[in-house]
Structure 1
Amino acid sequence: MDQIRKEDIKQEVFDLYDDYAHSRIDRRSFMQQLSVYAVGGLTLTSLMSFLMPDYKGNIQVKAGDPRLNSGYINYESPKGGGTIKGLLSKPVRSKKKLGGIIVVHENRGLNPYIEDVSRRAALAGFIALAPDALTPLGGYPGNDDEGRNMQSKRNGAEMLEDFIAAFEYLKSHKDCNGKVGVVGFCFGGGICNAMAVRIPSLAASVPYYGGQAVIADVPKIKAPLQLHYASLDTRVNAGWPAYEAALKENGKEYEAFIYENVNHGFHNDTTPRYDKAAAELAWKRTIKFFNKNLK
């Protein structure tokens, strides 16, 4: 992987990976199409290794960090998958009740990157819960490819209920001040928009490159929104103009940021789509937004 530089990879390769990561093409088609770009010193194996997430070298807040009380809990989701497992984290030294943040994973279950993000949220001064929507199928399996296949077998409406149940669990937690927001990435970004529609008492919603809510449902949104998009993510961005128009028309509180020359998934620091400057700026804005609305 060290021999491949991100700037040497054509945009078409990242677009191809996006198609694969979102199950628009299967692994065989992905490999066949990727082989076209295995030229010169690039082999198909090295390209594959470059594109896949690196969870060993890129975790910012590791499990067991002494600054946090962090561990797995189970909560009930009667309208969703039943009993759902999640990672619950909060600062060790906090003696007051904290604002709550639900952290919603991508389309592959509660992987190490999302667990890391939830611990980052806790270190910022919140009580954070990162559910695993794959719990009814045995939980995140240890690799994203299998996790993606597993998540495709779950019902989308039931998964939404799992995250709504997580909101209710966290809101009533003894260490939470009752103000709960949500942040999510990709699939999780879509869940953020859906939760804003479904939960009148949601205190804040921060979708990262997520599918927009149904336009007819925009009047139901009560929570302030902070939306993050990648300029190269034409697939997700296609729905933004109509969504923004509806938010404006209905007088909704929102702010939106489009980060130039970055790809879908730019916040995920375990993959080459990561953009350090955009990710750090977006996260700084996210925490500032939660500080404003959850404390």
Structure 2
Amino acid sequence: MNKSPSDHIPQEAFDWYDEYAHGLMDRRTFMKKLGGLAALGFSMAVLTSALLPNYALAEQVSFNDDDITATYEEFDSPNGHGKGKGYLATPKNIEGKLPVVLVIHENRGLNPYVKDVARRLAKVGFIAFAPDALFPLGGYPGNDDEGRAMQKTMDRAKIQNDFVAAAHFLKSHANSNGKLGAVGFCFGGYIVNYLAAVDSNLISAGVPFYG
């Protein structure tokens, strides 16, 4: 079986990316370390394509898919930043009540991948809502580096309360059957655990990806 180029990348490169993705290493340091591997014969193009996300290639459900409707919705968050905003994805023709899923992003705001996860859930029959913690600062800026830096400046307690408010907003959706699930990635995994702990009646199921 032929191996892909990424199979030959040293494990330390993935470890560096993990530190970078979690805000423990800045982009300049990360790229400098990759440059050291390039000096040993590894192609920077191969390294970056294997380690850095390409949201366009990862997309599974288009925003204009015929089976879903996607809109941006605001919600009240009196104990957070006052107002929140998120990406709501629903099946096109809703009949009756459906389970709802809160989709919680990483430590960089509502990037294209997280919106795609919401669309995937809508495609298979859930009502999904993906809030953007960066809404008080103008929203996800279009790239993860700036988003990560922005989120780091924010009050974590207020962010947590924004997601609690988002959970109540989604659970009370007109077509919700009252069963709320939550799925989160990285920082979002932490928020899933927080939602389960702050109110035992708030979510019915939670999936934290290494929270």
Q: What is the TM-score with the length of structure 1 in the denominator? A: 0.67
In the alignment, what sits opposite 1:151?
A: 151
Corresponding residue of 1:268: none
Q: Report if the CA contact (8 A) 2:88-2:128 is conserved.
A: yes
Q: Distance in 1 between matches of 2:6 and 2:32?
A: 21
Please state if 1:29 is matched with 2:29: yes
Distance 2:154 2:13 in 1: 29
Q: Please report how far the alpha carbon of residue 144 of structure 1 lies from its aligned counterpart in structure 2 after TM superposition.
A: 0.7
How many angstroms apart in 2 are the aligned matches of 1:67 and 1:157? 37
| AA aligned opposite 2:64 | G
The 3-state SS of whatever aligns with 1:66 is coil
Q: Deviations over 1:173-223 (max 9, x none)?
A: 11111111111011100110111001221211111111xxxxxxxxxxxxx
In 2, the alpha carbon distance for the partners of 1:70 and 1:25 equals 35
Q: What secondary structure does 1:61 align onto?
A: coil
The more displaced of 112-121 and 198-207 is 198-207
Task: Give ranges in structure 2 of 5+ residues lacking alignment.
Answer: none
Provide the residue aligned with 1:66 in structure 2.
66
Describe the shift of the 1:70–1:110 C-alpha distance in structure 2 as closer, same or farther (beyond 3 A): same
Return the offset for 1:86. 0.5
Does structure 1 retain, via aligned residues, the 8 Å contact 2:81–2:159? yes
- Measured in 1, the distance between the counterparts of 2:158 and 2:81 equals 6
Identical aligned pairs, as a percentage?
A: 50
Contact 2:5/2:46, CA 8 A, preserved across alignment: no
Aligned partners of 2:94 and 2:185: how far apart in 1? 27
1:135 matched residue in structure 2: 135
Q: CA deviation at 1:34?
A: 2.0
Secondary structure, in 3 states, of the residue corresponding to 2:15?
helix
Runs of 5+ in structure 1 lacking a partner?
211-295
What SS does the aligned partner of 1:57 have? Answer: helix
Q: Which amino acid aligns with 2:208?
A: P
Question: Where do residues 44-55 of structure 1 align in structure 2 (5 Å cutoff)?
Answer: 44=44, 46-55=46-55
**Equivalents in 2 of 1:146, 1:18: separation in Å?**
17
Q: How far apart are residue 40 of structure 1 and its match?
A: 5.0
What corresponds to 2:197 in structure 1? 197
User: 4+ residue stretches of structure 1 with deviation over 6 A?
Assistant: none
Q: Which position in structure 2 is the counterpart of 1:187?
A: 187
Is 1:166 the counterpart of 2:166? The answer is yes
Q: Which amino acid aligns with 1:204?
A: A
RMSD (Å), alpha carbons = 1.5
1:43 to partner: Cα distance = 3.8
Between the aligned partners of 1:181 and 1:49, the Cα distance in structure 2 is: 33
**TM-score if structure 2 supplies the norm length?**
0.92
**Partner residue in 1 for 2:209:** 208
Partner SS for 2:54: coil
More divergent stretch after superposition (149-158 vs 36-45):
36-45
